[in-house]
Structure 1
Amino acid sequence: MFVYMTGILPIAKYSSGSELNMFVEFTMAKSPAFSDYFGFTEDEVTELYNRYLTRCTKPHITRDGLRLWYNGYHTAAGERVYNPRSVVFALLYDNLANYWTSAGPYDEIYYYIEHNINDVKDDLALMVSGASVPAKIQEYAATSMNLQTKDEIFSAMVVYGFLSYEDGRISIPNQELMEQFVNMLQKEPSLGYIYRLAKESDRMLQATLAEDTDTMAEILELAHDTEVPLLSYNNDKQIKDKKYALKFLGKIGENQRYTGRVLAVGISYNRIEKKHHCKIEVLTDAKKV
């Protein structure tokens, strides 16, 4: 007799002699053959969205909106899947919103983050700013009530669905979960520093893209005064002289992967004035494709 069971947690076994030792488990991160069953696929969401359009006379949801809010989970087969519950509620109520339930493991996950803040704070700041960070996923860590290392903490968050895992890196999968993280960081005094740091990182990126060197210098002053002081900088003039920007063009015969602008950003620190100065030079203009 075969039994099919679904659930979010791995099945914990005390030993090979445990009563429940005959299960075969299939997970999103390690079971490519069953990738389509861990969430709604693009085709399934498109079908549901078309039904929604026929039902609503004045729809307020776009197809791209569904992708931004509820997509972003990666399966072992390379598929990107959606949160089924949230997609259903969004189309049912004609509203893109946060339908993630805060009941269940969320308080436990926060508990582990809070007590290991020194190990995870830098990675949390990067992920809240939209970046991905490397991690080694240990799926059985989610069954432990005594998570010690950064990888154990992030492994549990992947299993619970708070983070997405792909090619050895983790990230916050979508807008719905990003709101959950931001709310947590704003709510908890011990994590407010991470939220402010992430916001400054995003502001630095926007200032760099806009070639706003005054704002860049202002942010660097804040980082210099509140973080580890940078007393000297390397002389990296060779980055321009050796034409490192050519790496973005790809190898001969290959299609160019990146066609946007390539910026060289120079940062200097005057020890006497105790001020930062920034300079931006466009090495390559964007190409039309």
Structure 2
Amino acid sequence: MGTFLNPGGSNAFTELVAKQDSGIFVDKTDFIAETIDRLDAGDLKLIAFAKPRRFGKTVTAHMLASYYSKGADCKAVFAGLKVAGYSGTKTVNGQKKEITYEEYLNRCNVIYWDMNSIDNDFRAYESDKSLYVDYVDDIVDYLQYVTLLEIRQNREFDEKISKAPLIGRKSLKQALVATEAKFVLIMDEWDLLYREYRDNEALQKKFIDMLRGLFKAADGLSCFSLAYLTGILPIKKYNSQSALNNFDEYNMLHPDTFAPYFGFTDEEVREICRLPRCPISQEQMKEWYEGYRFAVNDADDNANKADGNSNDNRGKYRLIDVYNPNSVCKAVSRNRCSNYWSSTSSNEEVIRLINMNFDGIKDDILSMIAGGSVSFNFSSFQNDMVSLTKKDQIFSLLVCLGYLGCSGQPVSGTERYAYVPNMEIRETLIDIVREQPWYNAMPVIARYERLFQAIRSRDAANTAEIVGSIHNSSYVSVSGYNREEALVFCLISGLMWCAESSYDSFRELPAGKGFADLVFVPKIRTDLPIMIVEFKRDSSAETALKQIKEQDYAGRYRKDGDEREVLLIGLSYNSGTREHECLIERL
């Protein structure tokens, strides 16, 4: 059992399994079955997954290590999990045979690289001259040196390596070839050098050359039964290098059939919300953490083609929405939905990207925060954080980082619609934008400020006019324009910038003798008014206001001597004239 060769013992995955009766465990072990089918299968044995921070990359890497590594003993861990139901046909020792999941369970030589840990170890090595080894000068040298050092602790491997010529302290590929063994390589955060050493092109080239030797050269490639790389960024176009273009790659722009493994699915979150210890509804989880929407080919596609059906479903998609898994787990453990994303370390990167303002990015970000979507094309994205020259590339990067979602069904081959996926990301982006010096100068924010002031001053005519301008804007769905829900959206988005930090908003809130359409209640400050809103389509604002009074929606805020100001707001829309009407009264 080692650190780099055949790791074993406890890790993030085994700890989750051990605590599944008292914690949250979502069984994604069927992903292992997908990798079993790819073992020694040409280029299919090379897999790369790019997911945002806090989306379970490390847990998945640990899961694969726990399954394959000779240094682990995990039969009891996987018993009863999804992968235990695996059966298939593989060529083993030159003969086809029926196999179960136990065929490879803890029977493979695994090389495990956690690039974050290796980077930390290298920095410690670099700062202590007593540790210095001749010719080990950078993290690429260090990575090869420490891995080779551990491989040589295996007596059988060391004997074979010792007989091979020209294997030095950094000759990792040559050493692997000399062992005459097959390895499973699992590399977590493979793209760390392109994020943390972004300005060191010489180091990046050295790193890519090392990977080219492992995965492009025939002798290096023959050493691996499987290679699994995980990171944040896609990998194909780094600095015009194509060392890894033989990897089968899945990312937030196109996860394809692996979409369910990019987060928690609706069904999985539904089961979490049924747990006795979970006080949060799935509707709340959906609002806060879902919204990463992917398209996969319709499940009937292959069946139709196999049957020779001329009316096949080519070009048809089914959509899969996934939730941020880390945030869902934190919401359950802390008994509330909140923003658990803002602590991630890429916020500074987002600030830099927004402030580039190619083609009006700032306006587009504000529009998306308010509920809109913006088209972009990812064909020119170079898959790094440096070579960005236009808006399309920045939106592609923001999707990969998890700060934007993108429409699942493509508009064309490489065109997508970007949007803010959920409340958690919306709050994060709002906090980022509010800190920028240009924030108060943006016209869309100025309009929202005017709406809030118009409501507070009971200027009904101006309120109706501003809501109308939002209703007629590009980010209100044309298909939903004549629906009452569109008015709710207009007011929520219109008040977002000036009310979000000070108000809690409630839709269909039980109040009096019925349910108020929309209520804004101050979180702390008592000098802000409570706002109770009723919406009417093809009726009058007077009718809406009358309903608030007759149903006594404000009654709950007049108990126990509560003297806060309450504003009653009736808002209507005439679908024939497309005119808005508003009445505001102070209770």
Bin for the TM-score computed over the shorter chain = 0.5 to 0.7
AA in 1 matched with 2:424: E
Give the secondary-structure state (helix, strand or coil) at the position aligned to 1:148. coil
Larger relative contact order (Cα-Cα within 8 Å, sequence gap ≥ 6) = 1
Structure 1: any 5+ residue segments left out of the alignment?
A: 222-246, 250-256, 264-278
Greater CA drift, 173-182 or 127-136: 127-136
**How many Å separate the matches in 2 of 1:258 and 1:219?**
14
AA in 2 matched with 1:65: Q
User: Which of 187, 193, 197 matches 2:444?
Assistant: 197
User: Which of 267, 272, 285 matches 1:43?
Assistant: 267
AA in 1 matched with 2:576: L
In structure 2, the partner of 1:73 is 292
In structure 2, the partner of 1:283 is 576
Preserved contact between residue 239 and residue 382 of structure 2 (Cα < 8 Å): no
User: Which of 25, 47, 58 matches 2:249?
Assistant: 25
Q: TM-score, normalised by structure 2?
A: 0.35
Quickly say closer, same or farther: Cα 1:248–1:89, change in 2 above 3 A. closer
AA in 1 matched with 2:229: M
Preserved contact between residue 139 and residue 159 of structure 1 (Cα < 8 Å): no
Preserved contact between residue 129 and residue 202 of structure 1 (Cα < 8 Å): no
Residue 128 of structure 1 deviates from its aligned partner by 1.6
**How many Å separate the matches in 2 of 1:258 and 1:93?**
40
Deviations 1:230-255 (A, max 9, x none): xxxxxxxxxxxxxxxxx979xxxxxx
Residue 15 of structure 1 deviates from its aligned partner by 4.8
Quickly say closer, same or farther: Cα 1:216–1:188, change in 2 above 3 A. same
Residue 137 of structure 1 deviates from its aligned partner by 2.6
Question: Which of the two has greater strand per residue?
Answer: 2
Quickly say closer, same or farther: Cα 1:31–1:13, change in 2 above 3 A. same
**How many Å separate the matches in 1 of 2:360 and 2:384?**
20
Deviations 1:208-232 (A, max 9, x none): xxxx5332447999xxxxxxxxxxx
**How many Å separate the matches in 1 of 2:339 and 2:377?**
29
**How many Å separate the matches in 1 of 2:577 and 2:465?**
23
AA in 2 matched with 1:185: V
In structure 1, the partner of 2:366 is 125
User: Which of 432, 435, 439 matches 1:187?
Assistant: 435
**How many Å separate the matches in 2 of 1:101 and 1:214?**
36
**How many Å separate the matches in 1 of 2:436 and 2:358?**
12
Residue 152 of structure 1 deviates from its aligned partner by 1.1
In structure 2, the partner of 1:93 is 334
AA in 1 matched with 2:421: P
Preserved contact between residue 538 and residue 573 of structure 2 (Cα < 8 Å): no
**How many Å separate the matches in 1 of 2:325 and 2:430?**
22
Preserved contact between residue 74 and residue 80 of structure 1 (Cα < 8 Å): yes
Preserved contact between residue 250 and residue 258 of structure 2 (Cα < 8 Å): yes
Quickly say closer, same or farther: Cα 1:281–1:162, change in 2 above 3 A. same
Give the secondary-structure state (helix, strand or coil) at the position aligned to 1:75. strand
**How many Å separate the matches in 1 of 2:240 and 2:356?**
29
Quickly say closer, same or farther: Cα 1:219–1:83, change in 2 above 3 A. closer
**How many Å separate the matches in 1 of 2:323 and 2:361?**
26
1:62 equivalenced with 2:281 (yes/no): yes
Deviations 1:14-36 (A, max 9, x none): 55663x34311012332321111
Preserved contact between residue 213 and residue 280 of structure 1 (Cα < 8 Å): no
Instruction: Give 1:1-289 correspondences, 5 Å limit.
Output: 1-11=225-235, 12-15=237-240, 18=243, 20-51=244-275, 54-55=276-277, 59=279, 61-77=280-296, 78-116=319-357, 119-138=360-379, 140-166=381-407, 167=410, 168-194=416-442, 197-198=444-445, 200=447, 212-217=460-465, 260=484, 261=537, 281-283=574-576
Give the secondary-structure state (helix, strand or coil) at the position aligned to 1:6. strand
AA in 2 matched with 1:99: Y
Give the secondary-structure state (helix, strand or coil) at the position aligned to 2:273. helix
**How many Å separate the matches in 1 of 2:335 and 2:258?**
30
